[in-house]
Structure 1
Amino acid sequence: MTKDYAVGIDIGGTNTKFGIVDRKGNILEQGRMRTDTHENAEDFISELYVNLSKLIDSHGGSEKFKGIGVGAPNGNYYTGTIEYAPNLKWKGIIPMAELIEKKFELPTKLTNDANAAAMGEMMYGVAKGLKHFITITLGTGVGSGIVIDGKIVVGHDGFAGELGHIIVKPGGRLHKGTGMRGSLESYASATGVRETAIEFLTNEPDTASLLRNYSIDDLTSETVYNCAIQGDVIANKIFEFTGEVLGEALANFVMFSSPEAIVLFGGLTKAGDLILKPTVRAMEANLLPIFQNKVKVIFSDLKEADAAILGASALVWESEH
């Protein structure tokens, strides 16, 4: 019997999304459940099994499936383990791929969530056909996947490509999750945009701004965007600043791996040109002439929920490509 389908699972800090994917990259059915309500991984997998086995059965049962692919924070491609993920309740090293494989009796592969997104782009998205590119996820944090010669870079231990944690401003803003100062994630994530908003509003008490109508709790990257499109001076400055920091970092990445494209992905990309223009301007300004005007910076065209599921499922078809 032909194995027509794969399962893609995206484990996030709050929610887990899963779907049935065919060989062409169509998500035939999908679902979601909470991640953070489970005190241990075993309980999580039991609930996942209840939800997902219904979908598997409705597509002909497990004999029609080639396997399961999982994208997870701090997921190690080599060992199939989730290791010390700061935004998951389960501490230490969790043999996630092994636990899922046992429960579902299907071959299971696991990788880091950002690498899964890069894989989804390479097989089904704007990076289809590209052999050298970098994906940067601008969400609550900053994730990245690096592809060189058509292969995802995982390093000797499975954890290569943590570009969100590189230091862009030595001694700069404190990153609460890691205790590091001045990392890219503390500036170019949705959380970073919020921090910048608080800083700018405090530092310019006399400048009128629509952002002052919001309480500190209601300040988000989305409120900054809504104010920016209404022409708010401070809101626009926040995006200029964020794009500048991101662009300077991208210039370093370009000089390191000379990609054909950088694919931006995640919630912050909804700001469109407000984030893209200052980013590209700062990137080009900080590149050596041999690298200038060669690298496209593009937004992903995959729906956010879909990219994670597709990327995870792509692990299953990997050996065929």
Structure 2
Amino acid sequence: MLDRTQQYALGVDIGGTNTKYGIVNHRGEISHKGDLPTNKYEKIEDYVIALHEALKPALDAVGIENIKGIGMGAPNGNIYTGTIEYAPNLHWRGIVPIAQMVTDKFGLSCKLTNDANAAAVGEMMYGAARGMRDFIMITLGTGVGSGIVANGQLIVGHDGFAGELGHTVIRPGGRPHWSTDIPGSLEAYASATGIAFTAKELLDGSQEPSTLRNYDPEKINSKVVFDCAKAGDKIAQEVYRFTGQILGEALANFVMFSSPQAIILFGGVIKAGDLIMKPTREHMEKNLLPIFQNKVQLIFSELPEADAAILGASALVWES
């Protein structure tokens, strides 16, 4: 039951396929959750109209006077300008002034940042990073996203795009990224997409029996690799050991850059549990200077996966 005497934030997460939204109170409780297909709207103007129509019943129920503002997370979202800039997985090309368009349509202030930064702010307000002033959030999903908080402040850089740790090069001259073509980036290895690539490479380079060989190579994804690894398949387990090694080496670099209290991992890849966490922790510690060793917590997010994007976006409102 909504309390019309308190304020709420509207959290909106714009994904390449779907947009999720919800109304959130200070305790991180979500009401009026919903979604709409992002990729249905070729024009940003049509999208903003559809978003307003979808949310109008919720806004009427709460009372727009009780909404403090709108927080939005989006790919390539710029916190300084409120624009989405050259997002490769959205229909809207170029620089899109979405925060101003939403403000004009809803009559509410709107704050935008990229989706991984929003997740970091959400973790700081509602999740495992409560009370922390220095931490790094890493999202391991289809890609690798990140948000860096230092001295209690989100690091956004001079142009709003700082924190792209997934695109740092961890294997110079290594595997080309499927979208950027940059060789050897962390995302090319430690994402769900990268895990599938590693499995296919190991199968091609070995004659060892594996249940992975029972699958059409085009059907091998991170879930298939996980299922096979859990059932004891040696090649599938080696995929996770190798992935954990690369992730751990990258995390060691990140620790020595900002000396965080914790690195918080989120996303579908971490469901592999110890299969990936043991080699990640081992190789992170092995590659740290002694002054950094055994100081950094490596922990899982406490945000519910289904709601994390909405919570992260809404947290931008309370932060402002």
Normalising by the residue count of structure 1, what TM-score does the alignment of the two structures yield?
Answer: 0.97
Please list, as runs of the form range in 1=range in 2, the aligned pairs for 1:164-175 lying within 5 A after superposition.
164-175=166-177
Which amino acid in 1 is paired with 2:58?
L
Residue 46 of structure 1 is matched in structure 2 by 49
Which of 56, 61, 66 in structure 2 is aligned with 1:58?
61
Which of 26, 30, 37 in structure 2 is aligned with 1:27?
30
**Worse-matched range after superposition: 26-35 or 225-234:** 26-35
- Separation in 1, partners of 2:138, 2:263: 7
1:253 Cα deviation (Å)?
0.3
- DSSP 3-state at the match of 1:291: coil
What does the per-residue CA deviation read over 1:118-177, in whole Å, with 9 as the maximum and x for residues that have no partner?
Answer: 001000001100000000000111000000011100011100010000001111111121
- DSSP 3-state at the match of 1:159: coil
Residue 214 of structure 1 is matched in structure 2 by 215
- DSSP 3-state at the match of 2:41: coil
1:305 Cα deviation (Å)?
2.6
For the 8 Å contact 1:3–1:66, the answer to whether it is kept is no
- Percent identical pairs in the alignment equals 62
Residue 203 of structure 1 is matched in structure 2 by 205
1:212 Cα deviation (Å)?
1.0
Residue 17 of structure 1 is matched in structure 2 by 20
**Worse-matched range after superposition: 304-313 or 66-75:** 304-313
Which amino acid in 1 is paired with 2:49?
S
Residue 129 of structure 1 is matched in structure 2 by 131
- DSSP 3-state at the match of 1:292: coil
- Separation in 1, partners of 2:178, 2:44: 25
- DSSP 3-state at the match of 1:246: helix
1:25 Cα deviation (Å)?
1.1
Which amino acid in 1 is paired with 2:51?
L
- Separation in 1, partners of 2:218, 2:49: 35
- Separation in 1, partners of 2:183, 2:306: 31
Which amino acid in 1 is paired with 2:151?
D
Aligned length: 317
Which of 6, 10, 15 in structure 2 is aligned with 1:7?
10
- Deviating 4+ runs (over 2 angstroms): none
The reply on whether 1:253 has 2:254 as its aligned counterpart is yes
Structure 1's unaligned 5+ residue stretches are: none
Residue 152 of structure 1 is matched in structure 2 by 154
- Separation in 2, partners of 1:187, 1:54: 43
Residue 75 of structure 1 is matched in structure 2 by 77
- Separation in 2, partners of 1:201, 1:41: 44
- Separation in 2, partners of 1:124, 1:90: 31
Residue 191 of structure 2 is matched in structure 1 by 189
Normalising by the residue count of structure 2, what TM-score does the alignment of the two structures yield?
Answer: 0.97
1:3 Cα deviation (Å)?
5.4
- Separation in 2, partners of 1:82, 1:137: 20
- Separation in 1, partners of 2:65, 2:184: 50
- DSSP 3-state at the match of 2:291: helix
Structure 2's unaligned 5+ residue stretches are: none
What does the per-residue CA deviation read over 1:232-284, in whole Å, with 9 as the maximum and x for residues that have no partner?
Answer: 00000000000000000000000000000000001101111111111000100
What does the per-residue CA deviation read over 1:49-88, in whole Å, with 9 as the maximum and x for residues that have no partner?
Answer: 11111121122x2111001000000000000000011111
For the 8 Å contact 1:3–1:63, the answer to whether it is kept is no
Which of 84, 87, 91 in structure 2 is aligned with 1:89?
91
Aligned-residue RMSD, C-alpha: 1.0
Please list, as runs of the form range in 1=range in 2, the aligned pairs for 1:100-139 lying within 5 A after superposition.
100-139=102-141
